[in-house]
A and B are shown apart, each in its own frame.
Chain A
Amino acid sequence: MEALPIARLQFATTTSFHFLFVLLTLGLVTMVAVMQTRYAVTGRDVHRRMTRFWGRLYVVNYALGIATGIVMEFQFGLNWSGLSTYAGDIFGAPLAIETLVAFFLESTFLGLWIFGWDRMGRGLHLALIWLVALTAYASAFWIMAANSFLQNPVGAVEENGVLRLTDFSALLTNPTFVSALPHVLSAALLTGGVFLVGVSAYHFLRRSEEVEFFTRSMRLGVVVTLISAPVVFGFGAAQFPAIGELQPDKLEGGGVGLPLGLMVMIGQFFVFASLIALPFLARNRIARARPLLRLMVWGIPLPFVAAICGWLVREIGRQPWLVYGKLTTADAMSDLGAGQVLASFIAFTALFAALAVADWVLMSRLARRGPEPEVPQHAPAAPVLSGV
């Protein structure tokens, strides 16, 4: 038994779990920020309840995003110490910026937002959710910059067998970065949009009395899907010239074909599906179009499937390189016994799988229960439970 394939599988598993959570987190926080902005402008109760309901789902999902993210971060040092030895000087910079500026601040702001309901000015509270969203986007920005360096190592020269940073700005104009970032960000928006549409459709299927609530949620979801689907598709296609030039054999391997095909199909599906759904928004005919509603519920997992496929294409296609053309995955691996790596792989995978199931069961129960009643009923001495 060899350690390398297990370590690779472990990285792929951890990242896939992490990606499932952060993608929805990024999409949902944007929707929640939009809803809360509407609430701040109109002061209407329906917007406030929307912010709370969708915000609660976002907060649950965020918890697992952090947990898996911490393992991602430690894994570089645990299993891939060759990467930090060889390319730490460049790869480490965006990663450190991500954790310090984005993640560090994001969690701090989110804590304030959760505990700020009804306790701070409406404007300040609104500013906090936008700060959370902004720092979440900054997180994605720096992680993608770091990943893009691995795809196409720019801005660095090799000295005494290790890479040294020579041009930081090159990291941010990296061709493998500039088209991949909007692709990933719009994919996150698409995921959030499809989630809104799917959950709202579920409540229409159950003939929920919250017609206005879910009509508004549905409309936001369809519009976001309509806008983001072509953008995802466009920026996905826009990556091919850069790939052809910089990583010519990326799409050759057999492991890439299936995920690439699946991702393209799902992308096309959402472009058409959102166009079909659009006319049904008028006079809320969508609430009565039951076959369409059923399709929307089934559509919830599709963006996640496409995202994992996209990640597989990007990463399998880079093999056998970890830093493309410079450092192989085998050379980057720490010299570890296969037993150690296997033990940690099994333990983390089992824990993540259990947490993912717990998260989804919890999310689906919260989603099914629907929003709180319009007038919250407080028992006299009951503790004040937070709004999200």
Chain B
Amino acid sequence: MEIFFWCLLGLLLCGYFALAGYDYGVGLLLRAVGRDEPERRRALGSVGPFFLGNEVWLVAAVGLLFGAFPLLEGKVFKQNYLVVVAMLLGLITFTAAVQLRSRRPGAGRGSWDLLVTGGALVTTAAWGVFFGNLVRGLPATGPVPVADPFSLLWGLGFVALFALHGANFLAVRGDAALAAKGRSLARRLVPLVAVWVAVVAGWTALSPIMSTVDRAWPALLVLAAAVAALAVTWLGSPRVALAGSMVLAVLPVVLAGTLRFPYLLLSLDISQSAASPGTLRLLTFVAVPAVAVVVLVQWLTWRANRRPVGDRTLLHF
């Protein structure tokens, strides 16, 4: 039962990074791809129909974390206090700025754009540090270094990774001009992400991190998947490349979730942190149909809006 919820939590987090990840990426690249207002409007319009649905995967994940693993929730957030606070500040700035920037016709948008890009930058970097901390291994209690070089490297890597994801998304859903810019940006970002993956893999293998891990194969599998996804992103058509960067975006979640399983933090395992069987049973009745409906509705939304942005596209954000 706990394992089922662990997987469901992983699924929700994967959904968040795979989907909201390209929102952040487009936010990061907003000024790089859009020189004037119509271009920026089209870039934001490319994520528009999916934006509200993408963001809430995180809310659902944290809700499930609180309901199914109450003990873990408090510990993992507290151990990353300032990182989570920074992530939230970035997330709120980004979310609000995207939604409010275009609401008044004819108004200036310069400062809103700055908030969009800055918010996306802080959010992705903070998530990187957060996952770097999880991979390095967090004690269930006791102090955690705030600015550990390994985790900071994750922060930088996440910015490159999600910029790549955003570039791939623009290559699929942007109009001709945006798609070309997305493709050329992706060409430059893939090597950067590849270097990051290589450095992280080498650092992890050679550092004492692996001594806190019982078995190495989850890490090796994730590395293999990352290499394959990078190759696909480099070689494939825009749509295939987008699928590749989606895989890349969710791999940190998979890695953090499997590296020390069933231990979640260094001294807290899955059964210690889970809610009682009664609560989990109750949540099953709710969570499974809810996730199924959301997956179905969001898939239909994608089917209806997957064509590139054009003159007839509805621009809201």
| Residues in A lying within 8 Å of B, measured CB to CB | 56, 59-60, 63-64, 66-71, 73-74, 76-78, 80-85, 88-93, 95-101, 103-105, 107-112, 114-115, 117, 119, 164-166, 168, 334, 336, 340, 343-344, 347-348, 351, 355, 358-359, 362, 365-366, 381, 383-386, 388
Contact = CB atoms under 8 A, between A and B. Distances in A.
Nearest to A386: B316
B100 A84 contact: no
A69 B48 contact: no
Size band of the interface chain B makes with A: 35 or more
B43 to A, nearest CB: 12
Given A78-B84, A96-B66, A164-B278, 11 more contacts: A67-B95, A70-B58, A84-B71, A90-B279, A92-B66, A95-B66, A104-B59, A111-B51, A348-B85, A381-B311, A384-B313
B92 A70 contact: yes
B147 interface: no
B253 interface: no
A365 B315 CA distance: 21
Given A60-B100, A76-B66, A77-B78, A111 B301 contact: yes
Contacts of A84: 66, 70-71, 73-74
A188 B55 CA distance: 25
Contacts of A114: 52, 316
B109 to A, nearest CB: 12
A359 B103 CA distance: 10
Contacts of A91: 70
B252 interface: no
Given A76-B66, A96-B64, A115-B316, A347 B283 contact: no
A261 B291 CA distance: 44
The residue in A96, A105, A115, A164 that gathers the most chain B C-beta atoms within 10 A of its C-beta is A96
B93 to A, nearest CB: 7
B85 A347 contact: yes
A4 to B, nearest CB: 15
Interface stretch (B28-36, B243-251, B292-300): B292-300
Contacts of B196: none
B interface SS class: helix
A112 B41 CA distance: 19
A101 B290 contact: yes
29 contacts: A59-B99, A63-B95, A64-B96, A68-B92, A74-B77, A76-B74, A77-B73, A81-B74, A83-B74, A93-B283, A100-B60, A103-B63, A104-B57, A104-B290, A107-B56, A108-B53, A108-B297, A108-B301, A110-B52, A111-B52, A165-B278, A168-B282, A334-B78, A351-B93, A358-B96, A358-B100, A366-B104, A383-B38, A384-B312
Interface of B: 38, 41-42, 45, 48-53, 55-60, 62-68, 70-71, 73-78, 81-82, 84-85, 88-89, 91-93, 95-96, 99-100, 103-105, 275-276, 278-279, 282-283, 286-287, 290-291, 293-294, 297-298, 301, 305, 311-316
A81 B49 contact: no
A323 to B, nearest CB: 13
Nearest to A83: B74
A82 B70 CA distance: 10
Contacts of B74: 76-77, 80-85, 88, 334
Contacts of B279: 89-90, 92-93, 165
A81 B88 CA distance: 17
B276 A89 contact: yes
B314 A78 contact: no
Nearest to B8: A100
3 tightest Cβ-Cβ pairs between the two chains A and B: A88-B70, A81-B74, A96-B67
Contact of B42 (A77, A98, A99, A383): A383
A108 B68 CA distance: 23
A21 to B, nearest CB: 11
Contacts of A92: 66-68, 70, 275, 279
Contacts of B45: 383
Given A70-B59, A112-B301, A384-B314, A88 B294 contact: no
